[in-house]
Structure 1
Amino acid sequence: MTLTRRLALAAALAVPLAAAPALAQTQITVQHALPANSHTGVGALTFASAFERLTNGRYKVVAQRNDNEREMIESVQIGTIDCTFTSTGPVGNFVPEVRIFDVPFLFRDATHARGVLDSEIGQQVLARFPARGLVGVIWIENGFRNMTNSRREIHTPADLRGLKIRTMENQVHMRAFTTLGALPTPMAFSELVPALQQGTVDGQENPISVIVANNLNQVQRYMTMTRHVYSPQVMICNPQTVGRLNQADRALFQQAAWEAQAANRARVTADDEAGVAELRRRGMTVVTEVDTAAFQAALAPAFAEWERTLDAATLRRIRDWRPN
C-alpha cells in the first residue's frame, strides 16, 4: 500500500472503533444523484459489489438514486442513510475547505486533477470532514464542466452575457458566472430539466458524462467545450456507519472505495472520449472553438477575490503540482 493510500485510510476512517462485530448481512445504504448507468452510478454499484464480495456477503449494500445532493448530504449527516456519492458543489456548504477545488481553470487536465486529489492536498481536505459530522472516504469525479444553452453558440464571455445559467448551490461557481456577465440560478439537479423546458433558465453547465447520461440534448441546443471547472465528486459516509466497522472491515471498506474510484474515473474518461460524437449524433451543436484566454481574463476580479478568501498557499500548491 502506498504512503498516500495509507494516509487516505487513516484520515478517512479516523473515528472510534465500535466494540461489537458486524452482524450477518448488515445493510449499508448508499445514494447517488445520477442514473445507474452513469459514471456516478457505476462508482456506487462498483463499491456495493466490491464490499459485498470482500466481506463474503456479511454486508449488503443497497444503492439508490436521489437527485437532490444537498438532501443526501444532510441525510448522511443525521444518519438517515449511510453514504452518498455526491458532487462537491453543495458539499462546500458543509465543509468550506472543499470550495478550493471549484476555482475555474485551476486544473490543466484530468491527470493534474486526479493527482492533486489523491495527494496529500486532497487527503488534508478529507481530514476536515469529521469536524462537520461527516467522513470523507475517497475522491471520485464528474470531470470537466462545459456550458450548454438553448439560445446561442458561446465562444467568448460576451456571448454568455445575460443568459440565465443554472448552477449548483456553490458560491464559487455563482461568483464566476456573475463575473462573466451571466445570471447564475442555483437549483437542485432534480429541478434542472423542468427549468430548462419551461425557460426558467437558458442553460446549465456540467461535464459531458452528465449531459449524455441525462439526455440534456433534448432540452438544450448548444454545448460549448469550455472545460471551465473540474468537478470532483466525493464519497461521504456517516461517522457511526464507519465506526461500527471493525478494523479489518474498515480496510475492506476502503479497498472497495478504491475500486469504485477506478471504475468511476475510467467511465468518465470513456464518456469524455465518446461523448462529443454522441451528442452531435443526437443533433446537438458542439462548439469547440473557445477563447479560453478571454474567459480567464474576464475572471480576473474573481481570481483576486478567491486568493483572499480561500487558501492562497494551497491554490499555489495545486497549480504547481506535477506528477512524480
Structure 2
Amino acid sequence: MQTFWLALLGLLLSGYFALGGYDLGVQMLHPFLKDRDATLAAMAPFFLGNEVWLVAFAGVLFGAFPHLEGSLLPGLYPLVAAIVTGLVAGGTAVQLRRRTRRGRRWWQALIVAGGALPAVCWGLVVGVLLQGVPRRADGGFHLGAAQVLTPFVLACGAGIALLFAAHGAAFLALRSAPDLAARARRTGAALVGAAGAAAVPALVATLLGAGASMTNPRVAALLTGLLATALAAARWALTRGHRVRAFAATCAATLAPVLLVGAGQYPYVLATGAGAGLSVAEAAADGATLRILTVFGVVLVPVILAYQAWSWWALRVRTAGGFF
C-alpha cells in the first residue's frame, strides 16, 4: 500500500513536469519568437488546467505522507514560496497583459519571470533532494544557502529550466502554425543541447563525490541513460521536423528527474546523503488511512487521465489565432 501511494505521488508530479512544464517553457520563450500572441494562443486551451496535477500531488503528499510533508515543506519553504509566487504572477500577467499599453513591457517581463522562476526553483528542489538533505534530530531539516549554492544543485536548476524551455519549444512546434513552428523547432534544438550541456557539471560533481546520493545506483544509471537518450532523440526530431516525436521525447526527458528522486533513492523518500534518511514506511500514514484514501485515488486518477486525454484529442488541431 505504501509503495502504491509512493508510485501515485511520483505519477502526479511527473504529470505536472510533463504538462505544466511546457506552460512554463512557453512563458519563458514567448517574447523571443516574434509572434507573441500566437505563442500564448498555442497553450491557451490548456493554460492553468495542467496545474491540476500539482494540486493532486499536494493532496496526496498531505494525506498519504504527512510525515514527509512535515519534514519537507518547512525545509524547502523559500523555494516552494518562490514557485507559488511565480505561478501566480505568471498566470496573472498572461491574462491581464492587454489591459494597458503603457505597461505592456512590464506584463511581458512578468510572464517570462512567471515561467523562469518556478522552472529554476523546481530544478533546485530536485537538486537538493538528489544531493541529500541535512536532517536535524527532530526529523526536520533547515535549507540554507550552503545546501543550495553547490555546483550540483545549481547545475540541476539550470538544466531543468532549460529542459522546460526546450519542452515548451517542442510544444509550440506541435501546436503552432508552420512559421512559428519552424522557429520553435530551431530554438528547441538549441535549448535541448544547452540542457544537455548543463547536465555535464552535475555528472562531474557526482563523480567527484559532491553530487547525487543514490541508494540504487544501477537504477539511477538507467534513468540517467533514459534522460540522455530522450534529449538526443528530441534534438534529432526537432532538427528533422518530426514534431510529434520531438514532443514525446521532451516529455520523456521531463519525467527522468522525478523518477531519479523516487526510484534512485528508494526506500527513502528523503535521503540524507549518507545512505540513510526518512523511509517510505516512516513517511507514510497508517494503513487504515491509506485504505480510505485508496477509494478516492482509484476514482480521482482515472478522471484526471480521462480529462487530459479528452482535452488533447478535442484540441488536437494547430492554433492560428488568439485565445487571450
Taking structure 1 as the reference length, the TM-score comes to 0.27
Taking structure 2 as the reference length, the TM-score comes to 0.27
- In terms of fraction of residues, the more strand-rich structure is 1
- In terms of fraction of residues, the more helix-rich structure is 2
